[in-house]
C-alpha cells in the first residue's frame, strides 16, 4: 500500500498511532494463534503485491468488533473450513479433522476472534483505554466484496490492514478495519511497549 | 456499567439475531434449485450453491476461485464469457442475459454435458477487490430437451407432415422430416401455404375446395368463435402433384387445429396424411369389384346357356348332351362300387307318331310336356331323367332293378290315367311302354342302353302299355 496516500497530511503523532495500532493488532493475532493452534512456528507475512482490499481471501470469515470512545476495530480472520478442521480437531477432542463438523470448525475461529479481541482490549486497558468486544460472527468470505475499505482522515481516521499468518502447513489471512475516533486518547499508545508476557495473559475476558 | 458496555450489550443481542439470520440466509442460498454462482470478472467462482457442487462433484473450497471455464466445452465457453462481458459492460445496471448452453457435469454416475438455461445478471459491490461481479443462474433443462428430442423422433418417425401456419399465411415451424419430401419443396419456412400446398393441387380441386383455401387465411388472426364457420370450408383432401406425370402425385388428407392465444387464432397446426397407398388400394378394390360383378354376370350367362343346352325346354328334362357326362360319372362310380346299384328305365310313348299326324305337332308337344312332367315329378335327386329324343325318355337311377321297375310302373300307370284335352271337344289318353334293366359292372353306356332298348322293343312287341324288365 502506498503509505503517502494513506497518511496524506496527517500529523506525525497520528501516523505513529496508526502504525502502533497495526503493530498491536498483528501482534495480538499472531500470539493468540500460536496458542490456539499450538504452533509456535507461525509468522506474519505481508499480502501479495497484487492484493487489493475487498478481495475474497477464503470461503469463510469470522469478524469481531472491538469498540470504545477512542477506537473501533473490525478484526476479520479469513479461513477455509477444511483448514479449520485440521486446526480444530485437537481442541474438540477428535481423532482427526474428519471428525470435526462444519459448526465446530467455525466455532474454532469464532473463539480465535474472541481471543484476539480480548488480547487487544487487554493491551489498551494497560494504558487506560476502555474497550468492549462484540460477539464474533461468521459468514461467507464472499461478503468481503461489500466491505467498505475507503480511507478517511477527518473527523475519523479510517484505514485497514491485511496480513497473513503462515505456518509450515497452513496459511491464514487476517484483516482489520480501524477507525480512530479520538486520537488524543490514544497518545500513550505511541510509547507503549508490546510486552510478550502481557499478551500471553490468562485473564478472564468480560464478555458482554 | 459504562455507556459503552450498554451499547455493546445491545449490539450483542443484535449480533445474535444477525448471526442466526445469516446462517438461514446462507442455507437458503445453498439450496437454491438449479445452478447458482457468483463469478468475478476474471471468471472465477466466488460462491456456489449445493446443486452446482453436486453436479461438478466438488466441495465449496474446491470450487472457490475455480475458473468457470472448467465446466464448459471450449467453444461454448467463448460464448458464455462473451455473454458475461455483455452484461458487465451494459449501460443498464439491471441488465440480464438469458441463453441456453450445455455444461460439463461430473457426478459419480455420469460424466457428460447437460443442457442448461442460463440467466446472467450484474451485482454491485463496495470495493474493487474482485472487480465487477455477475450472478449466474442455471436451470437444468436437459430432461426437457431429452423429452423434446424423443417427441421429435416420434414426429419424425410417423408418416405425417406436421407444420404450423403463421397468422400471415406463411409456414412457421415444421415438425416432421417427411414434410419436405411430401410437398416436394426444400424450403418451407416462410413460404405461402397456397404456393407449396394448394397450387400443385389446383387441377384436381373443386371450386368449393378452392374457395376453402381463402377460408384458411380468413380465420387467422380472428376470434376463435368464428373458427368453426371457416373450418367447415377448409379443403380436407387434395391430390398434390408437382411431377410432369399427371398420375405421379400424392393424395393428402389435411386436418387443421387452431392454436389460440387470448381468444385469437394465432396459428394453425396442420397435419398432412399421405393416403396415396390407401386411395390406390381403394381404386384397385373398386376395379376388382367391378371385374367380379362382370365375372358373376358372365358366369350366370354361361350357366343359362349351359342350362338351355342340357335342359329340354318342353319337358324340363335333361337332354342327351347332359346324359353323356352325368351318366358316365354314374357308371364310373358303379364300376368302382361307390354306388351299389345302377338301373335304367327307357320309356316310349305308344303310337305317338299317329297322335302327331292326327292332331298336329302342337298337340304332340302338349303330350310330350305332360309326360315329361310326370317323369320329372317322379325323379328326385340323384335320379337323372332325360328326354332321349322325340317321344323317347331314359331315366338313370342309383337303385337296383326292382326299384327301377317299381318306378317305371308308377310312371306308366300315372301316364295311362292322363287325359289330354286337345280342344274342340277332343280328349285323348295315351300309354307308354318301358324297358327296365340294371347295369352290369364295366358295361359301357352303349351296351347298357342297347339292352334297355331291346327290352322296350319287347314291351312294344308284347302289346304296349307295359314294362319289360331284366333284373
pLDDT in tens, A43-95: 999 999 889 999 999 999 999 999 888 999 999 999 998 899 988 887 777 67
Going by C-alpha positions, the residue among A128, A144, A9 that lies closest to residue A71 is A128
Which residues, including other chains, have CB under 8 Å from residue A151's CB and lie 6 or more apart?
Answer: A5, A6, A158, A159, A160
Residue where the block lists cell 335333361: B318
Edge-to-edge strands of the sheet including B467-470? B384-389, B392-397, B343-349, B432-438, B467-470
DSSP string, B152-187: HHHHHHSSEEEEEE-TTSBEEEE--THHHHHHT-S-
pLDDT (average), residues A198-206: 47
Domain annotation covers residue A191: no
Contact B127 A132 (CB under 8 A): no
Q: Among A48, A97, A140, A146, which would you mutate to test the B interface (most chain B Cβ atoms within 10 Å of its Cβ)? A: A140
Question: What distance in Å separates residue B122's CA from the closest CA in chain A?
Answer: 14
DSSP string, B438-463: EPPTT--HHHHHHHHHHHHHHHHHTT
Contact A145 B46 (CB under 8 A): yes
**Nearest beta carbon to residue A145 from set B7, B19, B133:** B133
Residue A29, domain CATH: 3.40.1550.10
Write down the H helix ranges in A12-95.
Answer: 12-36, 81-88
Domain annotation covers residue A145: yes
Query: What count of Cα atoms within 13 Å lies in the side-chain half-sphere of residue B327?
Result: 26
Contact A149 B127 (CB under 8 A): yes
How high is the pLDDT of residue B347? Answer: 96
Question: What distance in Å separates residue A89's CA from the closest CA in chain B?
Answer: 19
Contact B38 A142 (CB under 8 A): yes
Chain B residues with CB under 8 Å of A132 CB are 4-5, 7-8
Domain annotation covers residue A9: yes
Coil vs helix vs strand at B428: strand
Largest separation between any pair of C-alpha atoms in chain B: 171
Q: Which three cell numbers stand for residue A84?
A: 479449520
- Give the nearest chain B residue to A51 (CA atoms): B129
Q: What pTM was estimated for this model as a whole?
A: 0.57
Question: What distance in Å separates residue A66's CA from the closest CA in chain B?
Answer: 10
B126 near A CB under 8 A: yes
B47 near A CB under 8 A: yes
Residue-range domains of chain B with CATH: 24-145 (3.30.450.20), 158-279 (3.30.450.20), 309-470 (3.30.70.270)
Chain B residues with CB under 8 Å of A144 CB are 129
Q: Which three cell numbers stand for residue B385?
A: 331323367
Question: What distance in Å separates residue A192's CA from the closest CA in chain B?
Answer: 24
Residue B391 appears among annotated catalytic residues: yes
Confidence of residue A2 (pLDDT cuts 50, 70, 90): very low
Going by C-alpha positions, the residue among B195, B157, B194, B192 that lies closest to residue B176 is B157
pLDDT less than 50: residues of chain B: none
Which phi and psi angles does B194 have, rounded to 5°? -60, -40
Which phi and psi angles does A105 have, rounded to 5°? -65, -40
Question: What distance in Å separates residue A58's CA from the closest CA in chain B?
Answer: 8
**Nearest beta carbon to residue A139 from set B11, B22, B125:** B22
Question: What distance in Å separates residue A146's CA from the closest CA in chain B?
Answer: 5
Domain annotation covers residue A190: no
Domain annotation covers residue A176: yes
Confidence of residue A206 (pLDDT cuts 50, 70, 90): very low
**Nearest beta carbon to residue A144 from set B5, B61, B129:** B129
B124 near A CB under 8 A: no
Domain annotation covers residue A194: no
How many distinct structural domains can be found in chain A?
A: 1
Cβ–Cβ under 8 Å, residues B371 and B432? yes
How high is the pLDDT of residue B125? Answer: 87
Is it the case that residue A204 has pLDDT exceeding 50?
Answer: no
Confidence of residue A196 (pLDDT cuts 50, 70, 90): low
How high is the pLDDT of residue B1? Answer: 56
Confidence of residue A197 (pLDDT cuts 50, 70, 90): low
Domain annotation covers residue A60: yes
**Nearest beta carbon to residue B130 from set A69, A134, A145:** A145
Chain A residues with CB under 8 Å of B19 CB are 135, 137-138
- Give the nearest chain B residue to A80 (CA atoms): B61
DSSP string, B299-352: HHHHHHHHHHHHB-TTT--B-HHHHHHHHHHHHHHHHTTSSS--EEEEEEETTH
How high is the pLDDT of residue A199? Answer: 47
Domain annotation covers residue A25: yes
Query: What single-letter DSSP state applies at residue B468?
Result: E
* Containing structural domain, residue A61: 3-182
Taking the C-alpha atoms of residue B455 and residue B408, their distance in angstroms, rounded to an integer, is 13
**Nearest beta carbon to residue A137 from set B5, B22, B128:** B22
Residue where the block lists cell 466438488: B58
How high is the pLDDT of residue A203? Answer: 47
CB pairs under 8 A between A and B: 86
Is it the case that residue A158 has pLDDT exceeding 50?
Answer: yes
How high is the pLDDT of residue A4? Answer: 46
Contact B47 A140 (CB under 8 A): yes
Task: Choose the catalytic residue: B391, B392, B416, B443.
Answer: B391
Amino acid at each position: 500500500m502506498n503509505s503517502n496516500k494513506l497518511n496524506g497530511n496527517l500529523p506525525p503523532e497520528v501516523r505513529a498511532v496508526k502504525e502502533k495500532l497495526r503493530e498491536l493488532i498483528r501482534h495480538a493475532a499472531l500470539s493468540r494463534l500460536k496458542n490456539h493452534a499450538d504452533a509456535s512456528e507461525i509468522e506474519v507475512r505481508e499480502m501479495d503485491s497484487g492484493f487489493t482490499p475487498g478481495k475474497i481471501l477464503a470461503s469463510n470469515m469470522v469478524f469481531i468488533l472491538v469498540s470504545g470512545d477512542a477506537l473501533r476495530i473490525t478484526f476479520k480472520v479469513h479461513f477455509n473450513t477444511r483448514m479449520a478442521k485440521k486446526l480444530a480437531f485437537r481442541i474438540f477432542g477428535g481423532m482427526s479433522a474428519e471428525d470435526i463438523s462444519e459448526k465446530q470448525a467455525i466455532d474454532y475461529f469464532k473463539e480465535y476472534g474472541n481471543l484476539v479481541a480480548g488480547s487487544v482490549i487487554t493491551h489498551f486497558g494497560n494504558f487506560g483505554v476502555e474497550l468492549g468486544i462484540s460477539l464474533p460472527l461468521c459468514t461467507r468470505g464472499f461478503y468481503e466484496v461489500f466491505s467498505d475499505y475507503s480511507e478517511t482522515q477527518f473527523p475519523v481516521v479510517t484505514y485497514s490492514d491485511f496480513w497473513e499468518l503462515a505456518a509450515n502447513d497452513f496459511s491464514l489471512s487476517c484483516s482489520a478495519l480501524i477507525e480512530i475516533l479520538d486520537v488524543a486518547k490514544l497518545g500513550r499508545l505511541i510509547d507503549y511497549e508490546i510486552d510478550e508476557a502481557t499478551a500471553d495473559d490468562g485473564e478472564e475476558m468480560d464478555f458482554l | 456499567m459504562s455507556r459503552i458496555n450498554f451499547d455493546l450489550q445491545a449490539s450483542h443481542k443484535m449480533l445474535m439475531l444477525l448471526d442466526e439470520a445469516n446462517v438461514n440466509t446462507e442455507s437458503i442460498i445453498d439450496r437454491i434449485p438449479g445452478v447458482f454462482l457468483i463469478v468475478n470478472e476474471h471468471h472465477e467462482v466466488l460462491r456456489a450453491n449445493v446443486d452446482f457442487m453436486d453436479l461438478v462433484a466438488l466441495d465449496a473450497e474446491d470450487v472457490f476461485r475455480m475458473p468457470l471455464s472448467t465446466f464448459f466445452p471450449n467453444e461454448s465457453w467463448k460464448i458464455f464469457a462473451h455473454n458475461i462481458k455483455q452484461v458487465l459492460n451494459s449501460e443498464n445496471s439491471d441488465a440480464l442475459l438469458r441463453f441456453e448452453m450445455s455444461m460439463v457435469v461430473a457426478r459419480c454416475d455420469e460424466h457428460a454435458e447437460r443442457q442448461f438455461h442460463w440467466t446472467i445478471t450484474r451485482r454491485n459491490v463496495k470495493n474493487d477487490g474482485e472487480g465487477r461481479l455477475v450472478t449466474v443462474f442455471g436451470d437444468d433443462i436437459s430432461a426437457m430437451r431429452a423429452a423434446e428430442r424423443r417427441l421429435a423422433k416420434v414426429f419424425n418417425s410417423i408418416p405425417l407432415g406436421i407444420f404450423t401456419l403463421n397468422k400471415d399465411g406463411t409456414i412457421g415451424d415444421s415438425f416432421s422430416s417427411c414434410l419436405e419430401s411430401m410437398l416436394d419443396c426444400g424450403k418451407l419456412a416462410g413460404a405461402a401455404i397456397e404456393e407449396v400446398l394448394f397450387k400443385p393441387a389446383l387441377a384436381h380441386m373443386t371450386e368449393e375446395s378452392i374457395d376453402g383455401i381463402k377460408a384458411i387465411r380468413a380465420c387467422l388472426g380472428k376470434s376463435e368463435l368464428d373458427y368453426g364457420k371457416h373450418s367447415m370450408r377448409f379443403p380436407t383432401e387434395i391430390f398434390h402433384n408437382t411431377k410432369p406425370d399427371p398420375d405421379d402425385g400424392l393424395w393428402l388428407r389435411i386436418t387443421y387445429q387452431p392454436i389460440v392465444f387470448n381468444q385469437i387464432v394465432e396459428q394453425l397446426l396442420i397435419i398432412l396424411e399421405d393416403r396415396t397407398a390407401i386411395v390406390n388400394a381403394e381404386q384397385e378394390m373398386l376395379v376388382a369389384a367391378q371385374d367380379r360383378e362382370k365375372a358373376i354376370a358372365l358366369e350366370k350367362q354361361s350357366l343359362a346357356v349351359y342350362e338351355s343346352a342340357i335342359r329340354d325346354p318342353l319337358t324340363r328334362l335333361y337332354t342327351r348332351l347332359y346324359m353323356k357326362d352325368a351318366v358316365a360319372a354314374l357308371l364310373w362310380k358303379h364300376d368302382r362300387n361307390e354306388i351299389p346299384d345302377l338301373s335304367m328305365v327307357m320309356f316310349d310313348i305308344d303310337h305317338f307318331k299317329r297322335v302327331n299326324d292326327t292332331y298336329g305337332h302342337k298337340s304332340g308337344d302338349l303330350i310330350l310336356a305332360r309326360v315329361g312332367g310326370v317323369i320329372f315329378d317322379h325323379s328326385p335327386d340323384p335320379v337323372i331323367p332325360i328326354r332321349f329324343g322325340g317321344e323317347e325318355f331314359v331315366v338313370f337311377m342309383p337303385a337296383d332293378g326292382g326299384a327301377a321297375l317299381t318306378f317305371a310302373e308308377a310312371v306308366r300307370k300315372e301316364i295311362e290315367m292322363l287325359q289330354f284335352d286337345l280342344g274342340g271337344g277332343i280328349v285323348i289318353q295315351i300309354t307308354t311302354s318301358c324297358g327296365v334293366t340294371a347295369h352290369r359292372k364295366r358295361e359301357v353306356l352303349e351296351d347298357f342302353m342297347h339292352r334297355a332298348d331291346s327290352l322296350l322293343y319287347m314291351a312294344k312287341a308284347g302289346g304296349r302299355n307295359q314294362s319289360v324288365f331284366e333284373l
